[in-house]
């Protein structure tokens, strides 16, 4: 065996390297990066996320329009709150955020629906305000068929032709 090799002759130490890397070709990454562990090591748990404190300027610039920005006093009260007060659980925070997002979506959908209703109402009003095209020619055709000249409906042909020409425009 060659010096530093593990396993078969000619492996040149690659057996150890292969065990620590996963993937193919150019996309090989350490097993630890994919959530795996080396033998004999324990999996690390991710550290809890640190608390985030926002300034009043941040709230003024990026705060939602639904609620006013908190004042410096309310921020100081939250920061100075004793540790014994039960903080909302992660599930409660997720639920609150989900409800806020759903409320925003409902508001967006409602405003889109109201805009569509206004657009359709405007279109309907314009449509009702229009006069029927070729109304005079149509009335002439109806009059001709109701009382045909000399009792022959075939004599209404020229009147019908005038209506057809008008309707094709």
Average pLDDT over residues 149-166: 93
Q: For tokens 């990066």, what's the residue?
A: 33
Backbone Cα Rg of the chain? 40
* Predicted pLDDT of residue 78: 58
User: What's the pTM?
Assistant: 0.32
Tens digits of per-residue pLDDT, 48-68? Answer: 877 777 778 877 777 765 555
How high is the mean pLDDT of the chain? Answer: 76
Residue 22's φ and ψ, nearest 5 degrees, are -125, 155
Question: In this structure, what token pair is assigned to residue 119?
Answer: 């657009």
> How distant is the alpha carbon of residue 117 from its chain centre?
21
pLDDT at 6 over 60: no
Q: Per the structure block, which two tokens stand in for 53?
A: 């404190």
Compute the distance between CA of residue 55 and CA of residue 70 in angstroms, rounded to an integer: 9
Tens of pLDDT, residue by residue over 104-148, are: 999 999 999 999 999 999 999 998 888 878 889 999 999 999 999
Dihedral, CA atoms, 72, 74, 77, 83, nearest 10 degrees?
-120
């Amino acid at each position: 065996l060659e010096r530093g090799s593990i396993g078969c002759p000619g492996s040149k130490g690659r057996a150890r390297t292969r065990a620590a890397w996963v993937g193919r070709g150019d996309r090989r990454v350490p097993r630890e990066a994919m959530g795996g562990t080396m033998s004999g090591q324990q999996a690390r748990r991710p550290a809890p996320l640190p608390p985030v404190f926002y300034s009043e300027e941040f709230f003024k610039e990026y705060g939602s329009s639904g609620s006013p920005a908190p004042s410096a006093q309310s921020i100081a009260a939250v920061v100075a709150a004793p540790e014994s007060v039960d903080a909302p659980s992660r599930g409660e925070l997720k639920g609150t955020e989900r409800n806020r997002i759903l409320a925003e979506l409902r508001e967006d959908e409602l405003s889109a629906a109201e805009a569509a209703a206004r657009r359709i109402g405007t279109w309907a009003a314009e449509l009702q305000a229009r006069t029927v095209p070729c109304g005079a020619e149509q009335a002439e055709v109806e009059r001709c068929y109701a009382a045909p000249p000399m009792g022959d409906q075939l004599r209404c042909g020229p009147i019908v032709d005038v209506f057809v020409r008008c309707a094709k425009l």
